[in-house]
Amino acid sequence: MRSHELLVVTWLPDVKSRVEKLLQDNEYVYDSVSSPIEAIDAVGKYAYKVVILDCLLPGLNGYQLVKRLKGTPHGGYAQFIVFMNNIPENKRPEVINRWGMHVLLRKPVNEDDLLASLKQAESYDLPSEKIDQYTSDCVEETFSELAHVLWTGKLTCYGDQGVVKEVYWDSGNPVFAMSSSEDERLDKWLMGKGLVSEGVLTSAYDIMNKRGKRLGDALIILGAISEDSLEHAISDNMKEIILSMFSWDGFTYTKEEKVRGIKEMTSIQDSFPILLFEGIRRKSGIEAIKTKLQETGEIVSFSPDNIFNIEDFKFPQSFNRLMGLINGKRTIYELIAKSGVSHDDAYRFLYTLLLLKLIRLSQTNEENKQVAISMADASRKTKFTGNLHDVSIMELIQMLELNRKSGTLQVHDIHEIGWLLFDKGSIIDAYYGDLTRENAVYRMLFLTEGEFDIKFKSIVGEPRITVDTQTLLMDGLRMLDEVNRIEPLFGSLKKKLVVNPLHTLKTSEEKEELMRIFNGNNDILTSSFLLNPDPQAGLDIISTLLKDKVIKEEL
């Protein structure tokens, strides 16, 4: 047998010496332990094909140990050859069936019977040896594929420096993980995190040997850690086992379908999307991520066929702005530039969303885009450019409506880029900075400076604005009149506001929403539209916030 395929669990010196001499004389390779805790630890590391076990053990009888070992992932596949005293022949089938063992030998054990039982057990192949092996050079892609098919089973992964990790999946989520690495053992993890001391662990090992308890149970008995704290620690330990795999350059793995794992006191508490995002954040090689995104496409839109519910995700709040900017028209570069986070983190976040199939990327050519606009589409001959000093937004909209034109009107002012999409003279979509649809149209009617660029072309896609253009203009004129009367109270609506760091807000949700609107980029007028579709009402809110010193003018 190969290394780590045969385990001998004996305590009595005479039994131990006899069994080991017999194995050595017959050129068997084996591991040998003398206590239940050592046996549990060994089976936790290696997939032993055969376990030879003497029932007489300190702290835990043979039946209890067999039950414990068979409850672990590796132990569930092992063949158990058990020595036991004084078992009547008519009781043997009942005991074998109740214990779930494969061979029961009465003591003193006949050496020929033991060798014959061992030969028979050798012919048994572990299920993992019958499974095809696969290779992968990208952990996140392999894991994402399992998530998308809602896979249930055991993934055995062989990575760097001979490390073997087992990850149990249930309906597309990792729920349990274990590693052969000494550094990732639970006891090392607990001590490394400062949750228990070396002395406490020594006392826990003593309880485990004497009373057959698991490490967690022993620590709770000692009062060294609470049950809730232990549950979180075990979950974090298993998460680390998985997250450390993201640094692997490549790995080999096997899959066992519909294996649901084992019953433990806890499982991994975070869902796969959370693990995936954290793993990618740890992963080096940002250039490779950029390349994968850029090779896929440029225009970013949400995907209708994802299997996850985006509202259930608990991504960092710092990415909420980036999520809100995705509208099927902006490119990767525009999103990253406006995201408010570091460019590297923004790339990692978009890559995470792409692997989760929450977003899809399309090219900027006409065949692949819906209502997405290419900023680089300057090759068309049918275009008209000018300055808002010479012709107003209102006049341009009326001209396009009168002539039933289809195309795009792009406006560049000092701070933002705005778009109006026309189909046969009707405005069907718009955005300006963080504003979209009708609000974007109303805000752009206030622009008096900047350059415009009109491109005439067919527009494909469902309209997101269904109000007729004349109604939009009439409402816009009313807003212009109301806001112009209020503007002197603010001095200028072009001022930019930020949340006052000295003011304490009631909830984190309130702070997040205010920081999204008053971020130092949006002027007062744009902020008013973000607060309320009626800018006059929005300006009233801003006036109150300024008076209460919740926000302040950016210096």
Residue 172 sits in the same domain as residue 249:
yes
Same domain, 230 and 191: yes
Domain finish residue from 310, 333, 362: 362
How many Å apart are CA 410 and CA 392, to the nearest integer?
13
Of the candidates 9, 33, 29, the one whose C-alpha atom is nearest the C-alpha of residue 81 is: 9
Is the model's pLDDT at 553 over the cut of 80? yes
Whether 275 maps to a domain, the answer reads no
- Residue 280 pLDDT > 60: yes
Where a domain ends, among 463, 484, 505? 484
Name the pLDDT band for 370 (thresholds 50, 70, 90).
very low
Over residues 327-340, mean pLDDT: 81
* Choice among 51-55, 136-140, 162-166 with the minimum mean pLDDT: 162-166
**Predicted local confidence at residue 32, as pLDDT:** 92
**373 occurs within a structural domain:** no
CATH number at residue 35: 3.40.50.2300
- State the pLDDT at residue 374: 32
User: Does 246 lie in the same domain as 152?
Assistant: yes
Mean pLDDT of 466-477: 85
Q: Which residue has the higher pLDDT, 195 or 461?
A: 195
Indicate whether 274 belongs to any domain.
Answer: no
pLDDT digits (tens, 9 = 90+) for 303-327: 765 555 555 566 777 888 888 888 7
Look at residue 372 and tell me if it is in a domain.
no
Q: Which residues sit opposite 255 in a β-bridge?
A: 155
pLDDT at 165 over 80: yes
Half-sphere CA count of 125, side-chain side, radius 13 A:
5
User: 534 or 76, which is more confident?
Assistant: 534
- At residue 74 the predicted structure's pLDDT band, cuts being 50, 70 and 90, is low
**Average of pLDDT values for 216-222?**
85
Determine the structural domain holding residue 187 and report its residue range. Answer: 131-266
Torsion on CA atoms 410, 413, 416, 417, rounded to nearest 10? 10
pLDDT on residue 128: 44
CA distances from 485 to 431, 491, 530 (A): 26, 12, 20
Q: Both 240 and 339 in a single domain?
A: no
Counting residues of the chain whose pLDDT is more than 70, the rounded percentage is 86
Contacts of 320 by beta carbon, 8 Å cutoff, 6+ apart: 512, 516
Q: What is the pLDDT of residue 328?
A: 80
272 is a domain residue: no
CA distance 374 to 338: 17
In a domain, residue 378? The reply is no
Whether 446 and 518 share a structural domain: no
Q: Please tell me the total count of domains within the chain.
A: 5
pLDDT in tens, 77-87: 788 888 887 66
One domain for residues 227 and 193:
yes
> Does 160 lie in the same domain as 94?
no
User: What is the Cα–Cα distance from 283 to 290, expressed in whole angstroms?
Assistant: 13
Tens digit of each residue's pLDDT (9 = 90 or more) over 281-306: 888 678 888 888 877 778 888 876 55
**Least-confidence region, from 62-76, 112-126, 297-311:** 297-311
Please report the pLDDT score of residue 131 as a whole number: 56
Flag whether pLDDT at 13 surpasses 80.
Answer: yes
Structure-token pair, residue 50: 């055969």
Helix H or strand E encompassing 75: none
pLDDT at 381: 41
Contact 382, 455 (CB under 8 A): yes
Which tens digits make up the pLDDT trace of 83-108?
887 667 777 777 777 676 778 888 88
Sequence-distant (≥ 6) Cβ neighbours of residue 547 within 8 angstroms: none
Question: What is the model's pLDDT at position 51?
Answer: 92
Tens of pLDDT, residue by residue over 399-431, are 888 888 888 888 888 778 888 888 888 898 888
Same domain as 63, residue 36: yes
Co-location of 430 and 340 in the same domain: no
Residue 222 amino acid letter: L
pLDDT score of 57: 81
- Residue 280 within any structural domain of the chain: no
Q: Is there a single domain that holds both residue 237 and residue 355?
A: no
For the chain, what is the mean pLDDT?
81
Q: What is the DSSP string of 264-324?
A: -S----S-HHHHHHHHHHH---HHHHHHHHHHH-SEEEE-TT-SS-GGG----GGGHHHHH
Supply the pLDDT for residue 463. 83
Is there a single domain that holds both residue 427 and residue 466?
yes
Rounded Cα distance, 386 and 533, in Å: 29
Structural domain ending residue among the three candidates 449, 484, 519: 484
pLDDT in tens, 25-51: 988 889 999 888 888 888 877 778 899
Residue 459 lies in a domain: yes
- The model's pLDDT over 484-542, given as tens digits with 9 standing for 90+, comes to 888 888 888 888 888 888 877 777 777 777 888 887 788 888 888 888 888 888 888 88
Query: Residue range 57-78: average pLDDT?
Result: 74
Q: Do residues 79 and 141 both lie within one domain? A: no
